[in-house]
Chains A and B, each alone.
Chain A
Amino acid sequence: MNEWLLAQAPFLPPSVAAVMVILFKIVLIVAPLMGCVAYLTLAERKVIGYMQVRLGPNRVSLLGLDFLRGWGQPIADALKLMTKEIIVPSGANKFLFLAAPIIALAPALAAWAVVPFGAEMTLANINAGLLYILALTSLGVYGIIIAGWASNSKYAFLGAMRSAAQIVSYEIAMGFALVCVLVAAGSLNLGEIVEAQRGNVLTWFWLPLFPMWLIYFISGVAETNRAPFDVSEGESEIVAGFHVEYAGMAFALFFLAEYANMILIAGLTAVLFFGGWLSPLPASWGDWPFIGALVGDGIHWFLIKLSFFLFCFLWFRATFPRYRYDQIMRLGWKVFLPITIVWIVVTATAVVLELPPWFDRA
Chain B
Amino acid sequence: MITFETIVFYVFAAMLISAGVLVITLRNPVHAVLSLVLAFFASAGLWLLLEAEFLAIALVLVYVGAVMVLFLFVVMMLDINIAEVREGFARYLPIAAMFAVLMGVSLLLVVGPAHFGTAQVPIPPPVASDVNNTEQLGLAMFTQYVLPLEIASVVLLVAIIAAIALTLRSTRQTKAPKPESQVRVRREDRIRLIKMDAEKGA
Chain A residues packing against B (C-beta within 8 Å): 96, 126-128, 131-132, 134-135, 138-139, 141-142, 145-146, 149, 157, 160-161, 164-165, 167-168, 171, 188, 326-327, 330
Smallest beta-carbon distance A40→chain B, Å: 26
Whether B112 is near chain A, meaning CB under 8 Å from some CB there, is no
* A145 with B72: CB separation less than 8 A: yes
Extra A-B contacts (13), CB below 8 Å, given A131-B58, A138-B66, A161-B73: A127-B132, A127-B133, A127-B135, A128-B133, A134-B61, A139-B65, A145-B76, A146-B34, A161-B76, A161-B77, A164-B73, A171-B65, A330-B179
Query: Does B49 touch A at the CB level, under 8 Å?
Result: no
Output the least CB separation between A324 and chain B (Å). Answer: 9
Q: What chain A residues lie within 8 Å of B34 (beta carbons)? A: 96, 146
| Whole-angstrom distance between the Cβ of A193 and the nearest chain B Cβ | 13
Tell me the complex Cα distance, A134–B134, Å. Answer: 15
CB-defined contacts of B37 to chain A, threshold 8 Å: 142
Interface residues of B (CB under 8 A from A): 30, 34, 37, 53-54, 57-58, 60-61, 64-66, 69-70, 72-73, 76-77, 132-135, 176-177, 179
Determine if B54 and A326 form an interchain contact, defined as CB atoms under 8 angstroms apart. Answer: no
Chain A residue with minimal CB distance to B58?
A: A131
A329 → B minimal CB distance (Å):
10
Among A126, A142, A149, A188, point to the contact of B76 (Cβ < 8 A): A149
Docked complex Cα distance between A127 and B61 (Å): 16
In the docked arrangement, what's the CA distance between A157 and B66, Å? 19
- Summarize A's interface: helix, strand, loop or mixed: helix
In the complex, the answer to whether A131 meets B61 with C-beta atoms within 8 Å is yes
Q: Which of A164, A188, A327, A330 contacts B72 (CB 8 A)?
A: A164
7 contacts between A and B (CB under 8 A): A128-B57, A135-B60, A135-B61, A135-B65, A138-B65, A160-B76, A161-B73
Give the docked Cα–Cα distance between A139 and B68 (Å): 10
Q: Sorted from nearest, which 8 A-B pairs have the closest CB atoms?
A: A138-B65, A135-B61, A135-B60, A131-B57, A149-B76, A135-B57, A127-B132, A164-B73
Question: What residues of A have a CB within 8 angstroms of the CB of B135 in the complex?
Answer: 127
Q: Are the C-beta atoms of A139 and B133 separated by less than 8 Å?
A: no
Q: How far is the CB of A271 from chain B (nearest CB, A)?
A: 18
The reply to whether A131 and B69 form a contact with Cβ atoms under 8 Å apart is no
Please pick, from B60, B66, B77, B134, the residue contacting A168 in the complex, using a CB distance under 8 A.
Answer: B66
In the bound complex, CA of A157 to CA of B78 (Å): 13
A139 to B38 Cα, complex, angstroms = 12
Of listed B34, B37, B58, B76, residue having the most chain A CB within 10 A: B76
Is B134 a contact of A188 with CB atoms below 8 Å?
yes
Residues B30 and A149 in contact, CB atoms below 8 Å apart: yes
Give Cα A61–Cα B5 distance, bound, in whole angstroms: 53
Question: How far in angstroms is the closest Cβ of chain B from A225?
Answer: 14
CA–CA, A245 and B73, complex, Å:
20
> Do B57 and A326 touch (CB < 8 A)?
no
**Considering the chains assembled together, what is the distance between the CA atoms of A19 and B5 in angstroms?**
16
A139 partner, pick from B54, B58, B64, B70, beta carbons under 8 A: B64
Asked if residues A145 and B54 are in contact (CB atoms below 8 Å), the reply is: no
Task: Name A335's closest neighbour in chain B (CB-CB).
Answer: B179
CB distance from A76 to the nearest CB of B (A): 36
Whether B69 lies near A142 (C-beta < 8 A) is yes
Query: Of the candidates B53, B61, B72, which one forms a contact with A138 in the assembled complex, judged by CB atoms under 8 Å apart?
Result: B61
Looking at B57, B66, B73, the one whose CB has the most chain A CB atoms below 10 A away is B57
The docked-state distance in angstroms from the alpha carbon of A126 to that of B70 is 29
Contact assessment for A141 and B69 in the assembled complex, using a CB-CB cutoff below 8 Å: yes
Across-interface contacts of A160 in B (CB, < 8 A):
76
Distance of B178 from chain A, by nearest CB (Å): 10
- Out of A132, A134, A168, name the residue touching B69 (CB < 8 Å): A168
- Residues in chain B near residue A139, CB distance under 8 A: 60, 64-65
- Interface pair B54/A128, CB less than 8 Å apart: yes
- Nearest chain-B residue to A189 (Cβ)? B132
Contact among A96, A128, A141 with B134 in the assembled complex (CB-CB below 8 Å): A128
Contacts A128-B134, A171-B65; is A326 near B177 (CB within 8 Å)? yes
Complex-state Cα separation, A317 to B37, whole angstroms: 34
Query: Inside 8 A of A168's CB, which chain B residues have their CB?
Result: 66, 69-70
- Which B residues are CB-close (under 8 A) to A149? 30, 72, 76
Contact between A145 and B69, CB atoms less than 8 A apart: yes
A327 to chain B, nearest CB (A): 7
Q: How far is the CA of A160 from the CA of B69 in the complex (A)?
A: 11
